[in-house]
Amino acid sequence: MDVLALEAKKADAVEPEKKAAPRPKPKAPKKAKRIVYFEVEIVDLKTKEKLLLLDKVEPTATVLDIKALFHKSYPKWYPARQSLRLDPKAKCLRDEDILQTLPVGTTASFYFSDLGPQLTWGTVFLAECAGPLIIYLMFYFRLPFIYSPKYDFTSSKHWIVHLACICHSFHYIKRILETLFVHRISHGTMPLRNIFKNCGYYWSTAAWMAYYINHPLYTTPYYGQQQVNAGLYIFLFCQIGNFSIHVALRNLKTPGSKTKKIPYPTKNPFTWIFWLVSCPNYTYEVGSWIGFTVMTQCVPVAFFTLVAFIQMTVWAKGKHRSYLKEFRDYPTLRSSILPFIL
């Protein structure tokens, strides 16, 4: 028995030892991505003089970021006053354009031009609307030095004159309130010099039409009350439509966002014209002035309506082209301002 026990011990001693489980090798740390910085040179568009060299600009920097850096070196040229482009004859770059997406190498040259003093679009819109509102009322109340002294502070005997004043005032008060509470203006500013051009046109045409409508010798429309009523219905219908479109466009944009979307009709029947027209706000605006022309039967109003239609057609066509260019699935049935025509 002792011999067997000894042999068993020897066998146990000969049995190989179990190997320990191998430890997993630690993963090598990931190498940080190498950021390729840009070198941005800003050159004066007219003189070709080098104004600033920005070193180590991040590739994700926007044009607005570059404008802010430029503003630090030249405080008088705040970002809204700057125009930057890649070529002297190219279009201005948008503030949201990203540096690494532009057709430039790691060394980029931007051509700078001064846009001049700027005003916010909201300020310009308010000035454009407040002027005609006040000027028209001056003629309506027949302030001195406008008509013959014997008519100072008198009122017209024609009820259409009073109705025209109510409609004209309503239109511009509506526009002021929309500017303050409805519109989300995508463009930040416009040159200060433009306010004189814009206000000069709106204010002078308002004075021109107000002079004749409120004139003591004003004659009522040829077809009488039926013509006035027809013009009034057109005016009111288009005013409601115009407001409905502005609300629909506001709801299309989120505050602070510049992302563009295709406008579509909503549950509001006044927005159903979106099926046929890209810019129905202009369609309704022109319709309002057509109604006002019919209602007052006044040549200056007709002239203003014609010029407004031409100008808004230009704006509508530009907006329509922009939609077609930006959205591949844009509805092909739509026209710019007039269904199936224009």
Hey, what domains does the chain have and what are their CATH numbers?
Answer: 38-116 (3.10.20.90), 120-220 (no CATH), 226-341 (no CATH)
Which tens digits make up the pLDDT trace of 193-246? Answer: 889 998 999 999 999 999 999 999 999 999 999 999 999 999 999 999 999 999
- Burial string for 164-184 (b: 16+ CB within 10 Å, else e) reads bbebbbebbebbeebbeeebe
Supply the pLDDT for residue 204: 96
The rounded distance, in Å, linking the Cα atoms of 324 and 74 is 39
Question: Is pLDDT of 283 > 60?
Answer: yes
DSSP state of 62: B
Q: How far apart (Å, rounded) are the C-alpha atoms in residues 206 and 128?
A: 11
Q: Is the pLDDT of residue 3 over 60?
A: no
Asked if the model's pLDDT at residue 100 lies above 90, the reply is: no
With cut-offs at 50, 70 and 90, classify the pLDDT of residue 114. Answer: very high
Radius of gyration of the chain measured on its C-alpha atoms: 35
So what's the pLDDT on residue 319? 94
**Where is 250: in which H helix or E strand?**
helix 224-252
Task: State how far the alpha carbon of 292 is from the alpha carbons of 73, 126, 130, 227, 241, in Å.
Answer: 53, 22, 19, 11, 15
In this predicted structure, what is the pLDDT of residue 1? 47
**Sign of torsion, CA 168 174 175 177?**
positive
Average pLDDT, the chain: 89
- Residue 263 has φ and ψ, to the nearest 5°, of -75, 135
Mean pLDDT of 156-178: 96
- Judge whether 145 and 76 are in contact, CB under 8 Å: no
CA gap 235, 229 in Å, rounded: 10
Residue type, 336: S
Predicted pLDDT at 26: 67
pLDDT value of residue 272: 96
Confidence of residue 13 (pLDDT cuts 50, 70, 90): low
User: Residue 7 above 60 pLDDT?
Assistant: no
- Cα–Cα dist 273/240, whole Å: 13
The model's pTM is 0.81
**CB neighbours (10 Å) of residue 16?**
5
Listed residue (160, 156, 123, 122) closest to 142, CA to CA: 156
Helix, strand or coil for residue 84? strand
Q: Give pLDDT tens digits for 121-139.
A: 888 889 999 999 999 999 9
Lowest mean pLDDT among 25-29, 79-83, 116-120, 139-143: 25-29
- Give me the torsion for CA of 313, 285, 206, 132, rounded to 10°: -120
Closest CA to 296 of 232, 234, 233: 232
CA dihedral 88, 91, 94, 95 (to 10 degrees): 30
User: What is the pLDDT at residue 36?
Assistant: 80
| Amino acid (one-letter) located at 119 | L
155 or 32: which carries more pLDDT confidence? 155
Q: Is 104 exposed, middle or buried (0-12, 13-18, 19+ CB in 10 A)?
A: middle
**Greatest mean pLDDT range, 60-64, 89-93, 171-175:** 171-175
The rounded distance, in Å, linking the Cα atoms of 274 and 35 is 46
pLDDT of residue 94: 87
